[in-house]
Chains A and B, each alone.
Chain A
Amino acid sequence: RKEVEQDPGPFNVPEGATVAFNCTYSNSASQSFFWYRQDCRKEPKLLMSVYSSGNEDGRFTAQLNRASQYISLLIRDSKLSDSATYLCVVNRDDKIIFGKGTRLHILP
């Protein structure tokens, strides 16, 4: 089993809809969590950190469920510009583990 797993998608979602996807991690010693977005043929960019109590940044909400060992990302009122691949990143000690990403297509 991979240490960090994501549904590769693609998720095809109409503009304006709400979409959510999860990332599961296998090591309970994982300590910090992040979501990155990566546009086609570009570098990943930090979207948001994920805090234990959950956190929100505009239309984006991230949550952590330590009991079930997953993090989630919810996007409300999706825009065409939200189309990208969303990477889940988990830190454990000095190790940084990337998920392979979930592709999201927002449809006009």
Chain B
Amino acid sequence: DGGITQSPKYLFRKEGQNVTLSCEQNLNHDAMYWYRQDPGQGLRLIYYSQIVNDFQKGDIAEGYSVSREKKESFPLTVTSAQKNPTAFYLCASSESTGRHSPLHFGNGTRLTVT
């Protein structure tokens, strides 16, 4: 079955450490996205990528980095510069960034930094 896989589901890190969240899709989608969700809050866009080797900052990119070396993969690194990294991170993909393409989400990674 096609889908988006995020791993791990739960991740614990000490403050000051960088951590990389994995996102892989086999839907052959061009566009991929990273969102962050905090309790009681809406989704906020961190980064998105429309095509391999290209990505753009979203609304809250500071303290994060991404790469898009393969169509299937869009890993997110949460750096030590991110002041409040504890959150639920969601990766999504869509056929394109065209206006009629709905997003398909992975099942998320819950990151806790202490």
Could you tell me which A residues sit within 8 Å of B by CB distance? 31-32, 34, 41-46, 49, 87, 89, 91-94, 96, 98-101
Bitwise, B93-108 to A at CB < 8 A (1) or not (0) is 0000111101111111
Chain B: CB-nearest residue to A6: B42
Give every chain A residue within 8 A of B108 (Cβ-Cβ).
42-43
B41 contacts chain A at the CB level, 8 A cutoff = yes
Could you tell me which B residues sit within 8 Å of A by CB distance? 33, 41-43, 45, 50, 88, 90, 97-100, 102-108, 110
Least Cβ distance of B78 to chain A in Å?
A: 18
Least Cβ distance of A48 to chain B in Å?
A: 9
Known: A87-B42, A101-B42. 7 other contacts (CB 8 A): A42-B107, A43-B90, A44-B103, A44-B105, A49-B102, A96-B103, A98-B43
Prevailing SS type, chain A contact patch: strand
Least Cβ distance of A13 to chain B in Å?
A: 21
Contact partner, B103, options A46, A92, A100, A101, Cβ 8 Å: A46
Chain B: CB-nearest residue to A92: B99
CB within 8 Å for A45 and B105 given contacts A99-B42, A100-B42, A101-B42 = yes
Q: Would you call B104 and A100 a contact (CB within 8 A)? A: no
Q: Would you call A43 and B105 a contact (CB within 8 A)? A: yes
Q: Would you call B99 and A44 a contact (CB within 8 A)? A: no
